[in-house]
Each structure stands twice: as C-alpha cells, then as structure tokens.
Amino acid sequence: MTFIYRLSIAFYQLAVKLAAFFNPKARQWVEGRKNIFVRIREQVKNDRPLIWVHCASLGEFEQGRPLIENIKKNHPEYRILLTFFSPSGYEVRKNYAQADYIFYLPADTPRNARRFTELVKPEKVFFVKYEYWQFYFRELKAKNIPVYVISAIFRKEQWFFRNGIVGRWYRNILFLVEHFFVQNEESVELLKSIGLQNVTRTGDTRFDRVAEIAANGRLLPLIEKFKGNSKLVVAGSSWKPDEDLIIRYINSHEGIKYIFAPHEIKPQNIDRILSSVNKPGIRLSEAVPEDVNNFDVLLIDSIGLLSSVYRYANLAYIGGGFGVGIHNTLEAAIYNIPVVFGPNYLKFNEAVMLEQLHVAFPVHNYDELENNFTKLLSDDVLCEEIAKECRSYTSSNVGATRRITDEVFNNLSGY
C-alpha cells in the first residue's frame, strides 16, 4: 500500500504540472512550491521554539486562526509556521500577520518530509480538521514531535473504518497522532472503536472565530443604506447553480433586497448575474450613498466583506451545496438568522446540527427554495424562534480554542 501511495503522490504531482499549462490554480500550486526548501532555509530562524500549523485551504484556515492567535497571545515565546496545501488558502492568506512564516506544504514524500522537519524543527504540530499525510506523520513520530489534529470530524464511511488491507493501512496513519480534538461525539466513538483513546470532544474552533467577528465586525453604512427598511437576502460564496435559483426567485418576487457575494468575483461573472436579474443592480465598487437605496441587487465584487455583510441579512443563502459542498454556515448563523443551502451539506457537522434545530433549510430545487424563502421572509414569529435557537447553539459551542490550548500547553487532562 505504501508503494501505491507513493506512486499516487508522484502521479498527482505530474498531473498538476500538466494542468498548470492551462489552469491558473494548478499553476499557482506548482509555482508556489518552486525552490521551496531554499526559501524555507533562508527565512526560518531556529532561535526560538516553533509551532507548525497546517491548513488544507481557506476554510481550514478559519478553523486554525483562533488557535494561532491564542498561541500568539498566551505563548509569545513560540514562532508560528503556517502551511497550506491549496492555492485558495495560501494566495488569500500569504500575508497573514499573525504567522511568522507562511509556505505551501511540499508534496508528501519521505525526502520532503525529512527535509522539511529538519529545517523548521517544530516543537508541536497542529493539523486542522483533516489531511493525514503519511510520510510527514511518520517523520514527526520518529522525531518524537507531537501531532495534534484539531476540529476533526470523522464519518463511518471513511477508509479509516473499513475492513481489509486498505482500511488497515489508512488506520495506521491515525495511530501516529498524539491527540485528536474532535467536533462531535460520533467522531469520539468512531476513533474509540478502532482502539484510539487519545481523543477529546472540544467542538469546532470556527465558533470562536465567528463569535469574534460578530463581536468586532465592521459596520458597513453603505450596506445599511442599501437595505433601508426592506428585508434583505444575502447569498454568500455562491456558485452559478446557486445563483440561477436565486435569480429566478428575484425575477418573480417583489419587495426584497438582495446581495450576492459570489465565490467567483471575476468581472464576467458579476456581469452575468447583473444581466440576468430584471431589477436594478449595481456593483459595490460603483455604489455611492446618495442613490444606493434605489437598487434592489448589490454585487460584492471584492473579498473580505462577507462575514460583516451577514450582519444586515434577514436570510442567508450559503453557496456550494450544488457542488462539492457548502461554504461556512456559521458566519451567517452567528447573527441569529435562518440559513438556506443546497443538498451537499451532510459532511459539515454544523450544517447538520443547524438543520436538526430547524434553523437551516436544505433545498434540492427551485420549488423548495421558493417555499423556504417566502416562508422565512414573511413569518416574523418563526424567525424570532430561529434567532433564539441560533443564539443558544452558537453560545454553547464557543470555547473550543481555549480547551485545546489548555490541554496541549498545560496538559490538564493528562490525556
């Protein structure tokens, strides 16, 4: 199995290099790893102890961010090294000020793992949510460097819990981890079912992040002016299948304001949305306070505002559910509003919990979207009940970051 794994890593690297000729993200993946060890050697200093935090992409970064900032505040003796696998994480957060060093993670080969750990010399390592890299974990274990997995979530259909040679091989990776800090009780039980007792249910660190954003979020007077006295729907991180459904609703219903913060903010995508609605729309970059209230549709054509925009929403639609999976629902739910999303959400524990609490509403087609939008935008009593459930749910889940750092740095439970 190890040989097949090594072969798959080699084929993956080759495929990405070929794709780089015509795919911008693949090109970033390749370019970002060129001369990576030279840059690490030149930049990383070994004068202070170092903690390495790895995030697959941008979503995992939002889970790792509270941990990084807690460490920087309470354990300033450590330097922080942050790595990403995906360009969508690295390119957005490559200038993140709270990390001392930020790099792409070199591909998982024995040589790369050895060179990387020898250069950065981490004292502790945190992997956020997932990505169990065989050779990195082996190398860290061999050097007695503890690996902690935070905000982890496991499902019974994963390879770790299957029978046979492949299942056993994947399971062995988990036994290289010092401690798992998981989101839910199901994950605790699954790990214990294969003989792993080094697990603590701490919840999802994203609750800490979104609570901080809500407490310190920016006020956006232009958005407030756009909304006026109308109900407002915010479509966050939307993709074309999401947008097509919402545009259909816009074109057949009156009296509601809409904000799109699409995942893809290229001008041609913004143009497509604006040209598809039969109501007056404008880009945020072109909006002015004097007449922004005259528009019914506002397109956010920049990044970094969405979490603050949700503050003004009466209803949020979370994009991605008609593709590989929904984006961050907690950014909206922290403001105690109902959320709607597409059908691919079952891998996201917080979305499942929100649905079970009847504050989130998955939709599979336009009819379901129309019914939910109309109900949620007209029934104020229902929305007040939803607000109470949201407040209870989010407040009861804040604190994962503190619990993790207390256990790792103070070893309160003794594991």
> 229 and 169 share a domain?
no
- Is residue 371 very low, low, confident or very high in pLDDT (cuts 50, 70, 90)? very high
Cα four-point dihedral sign 221, 219, 331, 389: negative
- Is residue 281 very low, low, confident or very high in pLDDT (cuts 50, 70, 90)? very high
Q: Among candidates 356, 363, 232, 362, which has minimal Cα distance to 300? A: 232
The confidence score (pLDDT) of residue 218 equals: 81
- Is residue 60 very low, low, confident or very high in pLDDT (cuts 50, 70, 90)? very high
Cα four-point dihedral sign 400, 403, 405, 407: negative
| Length of the chain, in residues | 415
pLDDT by residue (tens digit) across 304-339? Answer: 889 899 999 999 999 999 998 999 899 999 999 999
**How many domains does the structure of the chain reveal?**
2
> 356 and 264 share a domain?
yes
For residue 350, give the CATH number of its domain.
Answer: 3.40.50.2000
Structure tokens at 369: 């979207």
Report yes or no: 146 and 175 within 8 Å, Cβ to Cβ.
Answer: no
Residue type, 334: I
- Determine, yes or no, domain membership for 333: yes
pLDDT by residue (tens digit) across 166-200? Answer: 888 889 999 999 999 999 999 999 999 999 999 99
Integer Cα distance of 247 and 391 in angstroms: 30
> 158 and 251 share a domain?
no
Report yes or no: 316 and 236 within 8 Å, Cβ to Cβ.
Answer: yes
**Residues spanned by the domain of 318:** 219-397
Integer Cα distance of 25 and 338 in angstroms: 33
> 269 and 343 share a domain?
yes
Integer Cα distance of 51 and 409 in angstroms: 12
> 393 and 404 share a domain?
no
pLDDT of 415 strictly over 80:
no
Cα four-point dihedral sign 67, 70, 72, 74: negative
Specify the pTM.
0.81
- Determine, yes or no, domain membership for 212: no
pLDDT of 410 strictly over 70:
yes
Portion of the chain with pLDDT greater than 90, in percent: 75
pLDDT by residue (tens digit) across 88-138? Answer: 899 989 999 999 999 999 999 999 999 999 999 999 999 999 899 999 999
3 state SS of 308 = helix
- Is residue 48 very low, low, confident or very high in pLDDT (cuts 50, 70, 90)? very high
> 231 and 153 share a domain?
no
> 238 and 198 share a domain?
no
> 251 and 393 share a domain?
yes
Report yes or no: 67 and 35 within 8 Å, Cβ to Cβ.
Answer: no
> 12 and 149 share a domain?
yes
pLDDT by residue (tens digit) across 16-36? Answer: 888 889 888 889 988 999 999
The confidence score (pLDDT) of residue 217 equals: 73
Mean pLDDT computed over every residue of the chain: 93
> 85 and 168 share a domain?
yes
